[in-house]
Amino acid sequence: MTAETILTALIRINLVASVAIVLVLALRPWVLRWLGSSIAYWLWLVVPIAAAASFLPVREQIVLVPLSASRTVTESAGPVETSPAPRARASAEVATTPVTSLLALADVLVAVWLLGAGALLVGSIVRTRRLAADPSVGPALVGVLRPRLVLPADFETRFDAEERTLILAHEHVHRVSGHTIVNALIEIVRCTCWFNPLAHLAAIRVRTDQELACDAAVIATRPSARRTYGQALLKTQVAPAFLRLGCTWTSRSGKRLGERIEMLGRPSLSRRGAVLGASAVAVVGLALGYAAWAQQPDRLVTRTAAPRDPRIGHWHEQPGPGSFGLHITYEDLGDGRFRYTMFAHAPPMNQLIAEGKCDGGTYPFLYGYGTPSGNTVSCRITGPLTMEYVFTRGDKTVWATSTGVEAVSADGNTLTWDATHRDKDGRVVEERHARFSRRDDEPRAN
C-alpha cells in the first residue's frame, strides 16, 4: 500500500465520519428526550456504518473501445525511443520533478500521521496505568479484554450498602456489555484520526452516552432506587482526568454529572420504544451508509469491444456473367450472432435464411416461409475484412459444397465472393466470382 493510498483513505474516512458525527450530534438531544439514553448510545453506530460503507466496491462504468481503435492507438504510438535526445531528457526530468515532490510529501505526511497516532496511543496506555494506581480513582473497570475492578480507598465509608450495590451493578453492566472493548476501539480510532477535532469530540460524547445507557440499564431493573442512585452520583467526585482504556463511574465535569442525574427521572425504555429506536437507528445508518457509498465516483473499466462483422448490411450483386441478381442481407442480432438472408430476382432462386455466429459452427438454412431447406452454412472470421465459409446443399443435384472467401473492401462498400463448387465426390464443378455493392437504402427481405 502506497503513501498516496493511505492518505486518500484517511481523507475519505474522515470526511464521511465527520458528516455522520455532525448528524448524530444534531439528532442526539431529540433522541435523548424522546427515545432515551440507550437509543442515543446506539445512534453512534451510524458513524462506523457510514465510514465502512464508503469503502464498499464502487459502481463500474464499462467503456467499450473498438478493437480497431485500440490497434490504431498502439500502432500510432510507434517504437519506444531508448536513447532520448538531451533536450527531451531534460524536459522529462522537469516534468517528473513535481510528481517526485508530491510523492515525497505524501511519505512525510504518512510518517507524521503514524508518529502522532502512536504517541497518542502510548500516552493513553501510560495515563490509564497511572490513574489505575491512584487510590482516589474509581469505581472503575480498568483494562480491555479482562478488565479489573478498581475501587477508591474510601469506597466502604463514602457509600452505604445500597449505594455500593448500585455502583457495582453499574460496573457489571459495563463488563457484560463489552464496553471496555468498545472503549478501546474508540480510543484507537481517536488516535488514528488525531488530526480531526470532531473525532475527539465524538469519543467524549460516546463515552457520555455509554454512561447514561448504563445508568438507565441499572434503573430499569431497580426502578425504586432512583433516589439512592442519584445520591451515589452526588457523592462521587468529578474526575477531569479521563480513563481512556476502561469504564469509570465518575463524571468528567459537573455538567455531565447533572445530565446523568436529570436522566434518572426519565421513564425506562419500553419494549415498543426499544424496537422503534432500533428501527430508527437502522434506517438512519442504512440511509447514511448508502449516501456515503453513492457519493463515490464510478470506476471506469475499459474493455475491448468484439469486432463488428463488416458484412452487416444489405448487398446487391453487380451485373455480370453468371450473375443471379442476388440480394443478401446480414443483420446483427447481438452477442456475435447474425441473420443471413439470401434471395434473388431471377427464378428459381428461393429466399433462404440462416441465423448463427461466425465461429466455425454449422447452422441450417430455412426457406422464407420457415421450413427447413436442407442447406447449411458455416463461416469463420480470418481477418478484419475477410471470412471463410462453407455452404452445403441438401439435394446435391448440381453441386454438394461451396467453399470460399468473402471479403469486404476497405471503404466497406464492396463485398466479393470467391467460391469453389464441388460435387458429392469432392470434384471441382465450377469456380464462381461475384461482386456485391452495399445498398443499405433498399428495403430488406421480409
Domain residues for the domain of 369 are 313-438
Considering the chain, what is the average pLDDT of its residues? 83
Which of the 8 DSSP states describes residue 44?
G
Question: Is residue 341 domain-shared with residue 420, that is, in the same domain?
Answer: yes
Of 367, 371, 369, 339, nearest to 354 by C-alpha is 339
With a cut of 90, say whether residue 14 has pLDDT above it: yes
Question: Is residue 265 domain-shared with residue 384, that is, in the same domain?
Answer: no
Give the integer Cα–Cα distance in Å for 139 and 232. Answer: 11
pLDDT tens digits, 139-189: 999 989 889 999 988 899 999 999 999 999 999 999 999 999 999 999 999
In a domain, 253, yes or no: yes
- Rounded percentage of the chain residues whose pLDDT exceeds 70: 85
- At residue 76 the predicted structure's pLDDT band, cuts being 50, 70 and 90, is very low
Question: Is residue 265 domain-shared with residue 391, that is, in the same domain?
Answer: no
The pLDDT of residue 367: 79
Question: Is residue 319 domain-shared with residue 189, that is, in the same domain?
Answer: no
CA terminus-to-terminus distance, the chain = 61
- Name the 3-class secondary structure at 402: strand
In a domain, 173, yes or no: yes
The pLDDT of residue 444: 43
Question: Is residue 135 domain-shared with residue 203, that is, in the same domain?
Answer: yes
What's the CATH code of the domain at 341?
A: 2.40.128.20
Mean pLDDT of 192-212: 95
Strands 60-66 and 148-150: unpaired
In a domain, 445, yes or no: no
